[in-house]
Amino acid sequence: MSVFAVLDPAVGLAHDVVAALAQVLPTALAIVLFTVCVRLALHPLARAAARGEKSRARLAPRVAELNRKHKGRPEKLQAALAELYREEKASPFAGCLPMLVQIPFFSVMYRLFTTPNDLLGHTLFGAPLGLHVGAAQGAGQWAVFAVLYAGLAAVAYVGFRRARRAQAAQAAQAAQAAKAAEGAPPQPGLALLPYLSFGTVLFAALVPLAAGVYLLTTTTWSAAERAWLYRDGAPEPAGVALV
């Protein structure tokens, strides 16, 4: 039995909702609308995470000072940091919450669009929603995939640029923190984080067209939501939202 089988009740519910929407809308548009509704329901968590990130950025100088003050005394440092975050009602892990909540939804949608069902027999401009790019035939089907991948690449580029700007804005803060930690070297993998934005394009090439439609919808929402939540110029996390 697949580990994804535990998701079958949620997959069945998602299928019924999308199928109901598909009675009055094209199925691809029903997928888009369902995804938007779920992301809208998750938006309060994203707002809370943004507030947490802004609080963490505001507290960064005090965190650096605590690192300097309690250098070589990790237990004292952890206690001081916990007290600081408690007083300010902030959390160093606030930005992870929306991503963690999205993972079950992403898994449900992946299961829905990779398991044979009646939804995948519907088409988008002549291309079946259950079709993989490797099985595409004719200029029309190839054009559908080309437009989908171009859209995903454009959204990924926006995420890449924002992540690069966030890393540049945090460079001074990271240098100060490294100095406070006796010159601890930066993690080499951090420079590659912005490039993870393009992972959705690669992943879309491995899944049916319906899953690609979902990916384009949810990544576009993530990009727009991120731009809105950090429109005041506040520093944003350097990581990228993949879903």
Using CA atoms, how far apart are residues 132 and 129, in angstroms rounded to an integer? 8
Cβ atoms of 119 and 200 within 8 Å: the answer is: no
Cβ atoms of 223 and 159 within 8 Å: the answer is: yes
> What residues contact 121, with CB distance under 8 A and at least 6 apart?
128, 129, 130
pLDDT of residue 183: 47
What is the sign of the dihedral through the CA atoms of 112, 4, 39 and 224? negative
Question: What is the full per-residue pLDDT of the chain (243 aa) written as tens digits?
Answer: 556 677 889 999 999 999 999 999 999 999 999 999 999 998 888 888 788 777 777 777 888 888 888 887 888 888 888 888 888 777 667 666 666 777 888 888 888 888 889 999 999 999 999 999 999 999 999 999 999 999 999 999 998 888 787 777 666 555 555 554 454 455 555 667 777 888 899 999 999 999 999 999 999 999 999 888 888 766 666 555 555
Q: Does residue 235 sit in helix, strand or coil?
A: coil
Count of CB atoms within 10 A of residue 198's CB?
18
Using CA atoms, how far apart are residues 18 and 227, in angstroms rounded to an integer? 28
Cα 155 to chain centroid, rounded:
12
Cβ atoms of 50 and 237 within 8 Å: the answer is: no
pTM: 0.81
Using CA atoms, how far apart are residues 93 and 208, in angstroms rounded to an integer? 34
Using CA atoms, how far apart are residues 39 and 243, in angstroms rounded to an integer? 10
Instruction: Give the 3-state secondary structure of 26-51.
Output: CHHHHHHHHHHHHHHHHHHHHHHHHH
Buried b / exposed e along 80-100 (16+ C-beta atoms within 10 A) = bbeebbeeeebbbebbebbbe
pLDDT of residue 235: 60
Residue with tokens 């829905």: 112
Using CA atoms, how far apart are residues 209 and 133, in angstroms rounded to an integer? 8
